[in-house]
């Protein structure tokens, strides 16, 4: 894998602290936060430092994604950081960039470009607009002139429904298969007092009976719209020795996009999630495992970003947990359930049921699983995967270990 002079910093960088921006110990429904999105970003960053036992003024880098509004210089000023070195935004891919923010942070610390980097996301859809509603007005240009003008204006339509329908047509996947993902996420949220859906049960029957948003996406196939923030502190293995927590090692992180025919995302393979192999390149998932020196069988627990449930089914296939086209059978077999499945997923409730902090709460849960402190702990879990995305351009993912 390594060419001459290139060295991948596998296991050389760690997540040393985790933090969240909550109110009364919980993530919030959209519009319920009384604090600003900016304050929640600061609180999450400070909490990650406190968890690690690091003075926040020593943080010298910030990484985020999806054009997070709380930019690095502003956060560095707010925390009184002694200096700011790196200020890195994962470019494109919206919520698919969470593991990319971790990847960019690990590259910064591995090269010595920064010492202690906060990777984070703060997203209050109640303060700046909900993703499920289009506020487009006037004439639309760019790609929207060829898509949004036909009423294709929101992710449940363009990602969940369009891709889910194609997968159903190609492979016979069913709505009930998508529903199994929702059931596992809600079960996990019911063990997690931070979760917005804590105390809410959703059975497969509830999923099937829930109102149709954009066929075949029911209400319970879709991620929530929330207010909250999440952050992790990344540094080198060496620096982590002076910090409080047993570090969680970042084994590998990767970012990428498949070859696309033209300048329109609807030219891509739409029964896919953008992690898979094409005849032009091995793809993000294969690169992730190759860098790690691991295979899908090595993964004990997985946080699979659910913008929409069919994308989890497809993402499981593209990460090699089952064959392409067999994701429906895989989830029906109970493989993703806890505690008896061989690959429990979304063990704090995920975007569907814990909170949609644009997927960054999945990075925090991945760390908890490695520390043994999850509210739905996979016994003996040593290696965890986070698949961000899916189905956006580019997608990202990461593998962590105890």
Partner 1 sequence: MAYLPDDLPLPRTDEIDTKDWWEKIQNKEFVVSQCNDCGIYRNPPAPLCNECLSFNHHLEPKPNATGKIYSYTICHHPVHAALRDWPAYNVAIIELDDVSQGTGLGGVRFVGNIIDANNDELYVGMPVKQTFEDRGGVNMVQWLKG
Which one of residues 215, 246, 323, 334 is an interface residue with partner 1 (CB under 8 A)?
215
To the query of whether residue 220 is one of the catalytic residues in this protein, the response is no
Q: Is the dihedral of CA 377, 397, 195, 184 positive or negative?
A: negative
Q: Should residue 10 be labelled a site residue for partner 1 when binding is judged by CB under 8 A?
A: no
Q: Return the closest-CA partner of residue 172 out of 317, 319, 329, 334.
A: 329
Instruction: Quote the least distance from Cβ 137 to partner 1, whole Å.
Output: 6
Q: Should residue 314 be labelled a site residue for partner 1 when binding is judged by CB under 8 A?
A: no
Torsion of CA 107, 110, 114, 117, to 10 degrees: 60
Instruction: Quote the least distance from Cβ 295 to partner 1, whole Å.
Output: 29
Ramachandran bin of 203, using left for φ above 0, alpha for ψ from -120 to 50, beta for the remaining angles = beta
Which range binds partner 1 by CB under 8 A, 95-103, 129-137, 238-246, 283-291? 129-137
Which one of residues 18, 124, 195, 213 is an interface residue with partner 1 (CB under 8 A)?
213
Q: Is the dihedral of CA 293, 117, 357, 142 positive or negative?
A: negative
Please name the residues in contact with 198: beta carbons below 8 A apart, sequence gap of 6 or more.
26, 189, 190, 192, 349
Q: Should residue 325 be labelled a site residue for partner 1 when binding is judged by CB under 8 A?
A: no
Give the count of residues interacting with partner 1 (CB under 8 A): 46
CA 266 – CA 392 distance, rounded (Å): 11
- Tell me the residue ranges of DSSP E strands in 27-100: 28-29, 61-65, 86-90
Q: Return the closest-CA partner of residue 185 out of 379, 362, 397.
A: 362
Which C-beta is closer to partner 1: that of 133 or that of 201?
133
Window 145-184: residues binding partner 1 (CB under 8 A): 145-154, 156-157, 161-163, 165-166, 169-170
In terms of C-beta density within 10 A (0-12 exposed, 13-18 middle, 19 or more buried), how is residue 228 classed? buried
CA 301 – CA 346 distance, rounded (Å): 8
Which one of residues 5, 25, 112, 141 is an interface residue with partner 1 (CB under 8 A)?
141
Q: Contact 96/395 with Cβ under 8 angstroms?
A: yes
Q: How far is CA 72 from the centre of its chain?
A: 20
Catalytic site residue from 116, 220, 249, 356: 356
Site string for partner 1, 254-283 (x = CB under 8 A): -------xxxx-xx--x--------x----
To the query of whether residue 356 is one of the catalytic residues in this protein, the response is yes
Window 369-388: residues binding partner 1 (CB under 8 A): none
Site string for partner 1, 57-96 (x = CB under 8 A): ----------------------------------------
Which range binds partner 1 by CB under 8 A, 131-139, 186-194, 248-256, 371-379? 131-139
Please list, residue by residue across 103-112, b when 16 or more beta carbons sit within 10 angstroms of its beta carbon and e when fewer do.
Answer: bbbbbbbbee
Catalytic site residue from 27, 65, 116, 305: 305
Instruction: Quote the least distance from Cβ 184 to partner 1, whole Å.
Output: 24
Q: Contact 132/225 with Cβ under 8 angstroms?
A: yes
Which C-beta is closer to partner 1: that of 82 or that of 128?
128
The residues binding partner 1 (CB under 8 A) are 132-134, 136-154, 156-157, 161-163, 165-166, 169-170, 211-217, 261-264, 266-267, 270, 279
Q: Which residues are catalytic?
A: 305, 356
């Amino acid at each position: 894998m390594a060419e001459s002079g290139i060295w991948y910093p596998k296991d050389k960088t760690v997540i040393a602290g985790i933090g969240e921006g909550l109110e009364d110990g919980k993530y919030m429904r959209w519009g319920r936060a009384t604090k600003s999105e900016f304050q929640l970003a600061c609180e999450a960053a400070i909490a990650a430092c406190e968890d690690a036992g690091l003075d926040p003024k020593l943080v010298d880098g910030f990484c985020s994604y999806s054009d997070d509004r709380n930019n690095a210089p502003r956060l560095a000023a707010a925390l009184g950081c002694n200096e700011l070195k790196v200020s890195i935004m994962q470019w494109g891919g919206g919520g698919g960039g969470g593991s990319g923010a971790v990847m960019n942070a690990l590259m910064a610390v591995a090269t010595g470009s920064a010492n202690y980097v906060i990777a984070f996301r703060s997203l209050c859809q109640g303060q700046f607009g909900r993703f499920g509603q289009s506020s487009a007005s006037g004439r639309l240009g760019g790609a929207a002139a060829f898509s949004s003008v036909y009423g294709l204006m929101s992710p449940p339509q363009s990602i969940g429904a369009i891709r889910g329908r194609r997968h159903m047509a190609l492979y016979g996947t069913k709505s009930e298969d998508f529903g199994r993902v929702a059931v596992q996420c809600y079960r996990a949220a019911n063990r997690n007092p931070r979760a917005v859906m804590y105390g809410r049960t959703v059975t497969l029957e509830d999923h099937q009976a829930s109102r149709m948003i954009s066929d075949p996406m029911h209400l319970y196939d879709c991620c929530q719209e929330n207010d909250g923030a999440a952050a992790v502190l990344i540094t080198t293995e060496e620096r982590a020795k002076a910090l409080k927590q047993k570090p969680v090692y970042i084994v590998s992180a990767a970012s990428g996009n498949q070859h696309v025919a033209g300048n329109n995302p609807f030219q891509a393979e739409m029964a896919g999630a953008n992690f898979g192999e094409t005849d032009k390149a091995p793809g993000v998932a294969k690169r992730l495992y190759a860098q790690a020196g691991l295979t899908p069988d090595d993964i004990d627990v997985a946080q699979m970003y659910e913008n929409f449930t069919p994308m989890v089914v497809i993402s499981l296939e593209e990460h090699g947990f089952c064959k392409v086209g067999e994701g429906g059978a895989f989830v029906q077999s109970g493989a993703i359930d806890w505690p008896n499945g061989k690959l429990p997923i979304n063990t704090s409730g995920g975007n569907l049921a814990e909170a949609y902090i644009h997927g960054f709460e999945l990075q925090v849960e991945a760390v908890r699983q490695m520390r043994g402190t999850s509210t739905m702990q996979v016994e003996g879990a040593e290696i965890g995967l986070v698949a961000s995305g899916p189905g956006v351009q580019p997608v990202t993912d990461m593998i962590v270990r105890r």
